[in-house]
Structure 1
Amino acid sequence: MVERERVEFWTQTLVLIRSTTISIAMDFDPLSDAAPSRYAVESDEEDEYNPLQSSTSNGKEHEEFKIKIVGQTQNGRPLIATFGDAGKYWAKGADLGEQTGAVMVNNIQVGLIFSPSWVDATIVVSETFTRLPIAAMAGYASALVDELALPIFPIAILDVYAAPTYISSLPISMHDAPIRYLTKSKQANPGLKNTELFEPPNLIHSTTSAALLSHIVTQDPRSLASLILLPFPRVPAPPPKTLQPSDFSHLTEDEYQWSFEMMNHTHNLLASLTGKFKNPSPVWQKPKHSKPTIGHQSSARSTVGEGGMYI
């Protein structure tokens, strides 16, 4: 009897020791004395840098743009508004004469105003030395139309379209890419016979031109607006987030140089869309002091298969 009780005692003791050992093993954390993992300290998503997340620290996203037109300008005339690379290259050979005014955005010159004697129209060459953020484009377009033109007068806009990504039924090389247009006028213009319509589903990448055309179309049904687009070998860069000071260091450089025939046709087309040439009728002249931008010396010729898009 005593021997049996002794066996039961040691059996219960052994079970108790095993259960205690298991409990201790389950409660023991081998990393309890180690430093916390890096993700536990530095993985707060609110503190991590996100390039797509807007930041309010610099206060630029709520920047106000004050637009004013200065100089001696003639209001209530037909308007020729040119933008970017196309406007810069055309203006160099168009004999615009002396600058008569400017379109200032926050005291930075964005548009140059000319009133040449050979055409009865006001000419604005925009975004050649600095570019507008998206937030400033609507106000800029409104200033051009409301202060320099009237709805009853025609407006011609010159810009570029990306030829390699233009969607068409047949593949078109950069060398054969035509001048394209959009117009609100229902009357056929003889000058458009050598140009082709800018067709959907293609989009205008030059947002300032799009904003100006949209403003014209929605403001007055009587307005006559036309958009002339020159083929460009690349997709234009997106607009900047902030307005930068004018940079005149690349005045003699051009991102792309179109042929004389195309530029002279564009020159005549802009005048025919806004009125008539005065005598004598000028010819667009190839700029003497002009060179391709370093790193972008592209030939006017290209072959099918360099990124052209067609369906």
Structure 2
Amino acid sequence: MNVDPLADTAPSRHAIESDDEDEYDVPSLSKPKPDQLSTPDVKFAGNFPIKSPLLLASSIAGEAWARGADLGQQQGAIYVGDSQVGLLFLPPWTRAAVVVSETFTRLPLSAMNPYTTAVIDRIQPTSISVLDSYSVQGYISPRIIPWDEAPVRYLSTNAISISDPELELFAPPNLMQSTMASLVSNVFWKSLASTENSTVALFLLPSPKLPAVPPSTIKPSSFPPPSDDIQWDKKTMQKVHQWLFETIGEGENVVQWVERNRGSSELQAANRRRAQGGIGEGGMYI
């Protein structure tokens, strides 16, 4: 017969109560600064169209896509505080407003919803397509897939008409915690309280990297180092390019995506203008 020798022993005092004499000295967590708690100021420079389709390309996926898209000259900018977060392009071959976002700086969690809310309220888009990336290492799946064989995945507030074996749903229990995920959620909740139903589809390129932890504050904008560059193959980028415009109803007349080397895109030109005091570092806030 097994007998617990401590069964009749009274519990130690710290198991039922505690005072200053028997507590460990736990270091206090640093309190957030007041400027981290306040709602960030989102400002727009340039002539942003209203009630047009919107294409939003974000972060490393947005930078890679923008290299091969014929976007033309930068037409405006979106600032959070004093940092340029979004770049506006208005290519003549599409009615869509194209915003390339978070390629020069990244947003903290506290700024994601105010930023996406301001963009949606300013443009009031009729339809939205979004490009971002997801981490293959962090994706929960029944089978292990190497990142170079992983599919492009999607999320959408409505059913999409695109049928392709290389496009798969971003399925539960996986979660997205990026700014673009905030945008999709924002549009969904707004649609519940409105008679106007804007469709938004989020396409996610596979990334070999784990998702980076959002910064605690918004840092000054600067171009990402070459180590952050990920090369997706030409075929994948051309397909995603086509899907982005099909989602907003412009799949037939879309200009083809062309593979380019890093350093030759409109984003590099925009970054040079920003450094020289053009849109991106100055101008009138509208």
CA apart distance, 1:192: 5.0
Q: Where in structure 2 are the equivalents of 1:206-285 lying within 5 Å?
A: 207-221=178-192, 222-248=197-223, 250=225, 254-277=228-251, 279=253, 281-285=254-258
In the alignment, which residue of structure 2 is the partner of 1:172? 145
Q: Say which SS state the counterpart of residue 146 (structure 1) adopts.
A: helix
The answer (yes or no) to whether the contact 1:68–1:104 under 8 Å persists in 2 is yes
Q: Say which SS state the counterpart of residue 164 (structure 1) adopts.
A: coil
The answer (yes or no) to whether the contact 1:191–1:269 under 8 Å persists in 2 is no
Over alpha carbons, which structure has the higher Rg?
Answer: 1
CA apart distance, 1:165: 2.2
The answer (yes or no) to whether the contact 2:154–2:170 under 8 Å persists in 1 is yes
1:87 aligns with 2:62: yes
Q: Where in structure 2 are the equivalents of 1:1-311 lying within 5 Å?
A: 45=26, 48=27, 50=28, 53-56=29-32, 58-150=33-125, 153-186=126-159, 188-190=160-162, 192=164, 194-205=166-177, 207-221=178-192, 222-248=197-223, 250=225, 254-277=228-251, 279=253, 281-290=254-263
CA apart distance, 1:254: 4.5
Name the CA distance, whole Å, in 2 between partners of 1:101 and 1:239.
25
Name the CA distance, whole Å, in 2 between partners of 1:239 and 1:256.
19
Name the CA distance, whole Å, in 1 between partners of 2:116 and 2:99.
11
The answer (yes or no) to whether the contact 1:66–1:106 under 8 Å persists in 2 is yes
The answer (yes or no) to whether the contact 2:133–2:205 under 8 Å persists in 1 is yes
Structure 1 residues 191 and 111: CA distance shift in structure 2, 3 A: farther
Letter in structure 1 aligned against 2:149 = D
CA apart distance, 1:253: 6.2
Name the CA distance, whole Å, in 2 between partners of 1:166 and 1:77.
34
CA apart distance, 1:74: 1.1
CA apart distance, 1:79: 0.7
Structure 1 residues 172 and 253: CA distance shift in structure 2, 3 A: closer
CA apart distance, 1:190: 2.9
CA apart distance, 1:258: 0.5
CA apart distance, 1:64: 3.5
- Identity among equivalent positions (%) equals 37
Structure 1 residues 278 and 201: CA distance shift in structure 2, 3 A: closer
The answer (yes or no) to whether the contact 2:243–2:251 under 8 Å persists in 1 is no
Q: Which of the pair has the greater relative contact order for Cα pairs under 8 Å at 6+ separation?
A: 2
Name the CA distance, whole Å, in 2 between partners of 1:147 and 1:83.
18
Name the CA distance, whole Å, in 2 between partners of 1:191 and 1:125.
26
The answer (yes or no) to whether the contact 1:271–1:277 under 8 Å persists in 2 is yes
TM superposition score normalised by structure 2:
0.77
CA apart distance, 1:138: 0.8
After superposition, the CA RMSD in angstroms is 2.2
Name the CA distance, whole Å, in 2 between partners of 1:226 and 1:249.
26
Give CA-to-partner distance per residue, 1:82-105, whole Å, 9 cap, x none: 111000110111011011111111
CA apart distance, 1:108: 1.6
TM superposition score normalised by structure 1:
0.71
CA apart distance, 1:130: 0.4
Structure 1 residues 154 and 104: CA distance shift in structure 2, 3 A: same
Structure 1 alignment gaps of length 5 or more: 1-39, 292-311
Give CA-to-partner distance per residue, 1:1-29, whole Å, 9 cap, x none: xxxxxxxxxxxxxxxxxxxxxxxxxxxxx
The answer (yes or no) to whether the contact 1:119–1:278 under 8 Å persists in 2 is no
In the alignment, which residue of structure 2 is the partner of 1:31? none
Name the CA distance, whole Å, in 2 between partners of 1:105 and 1:111.
9
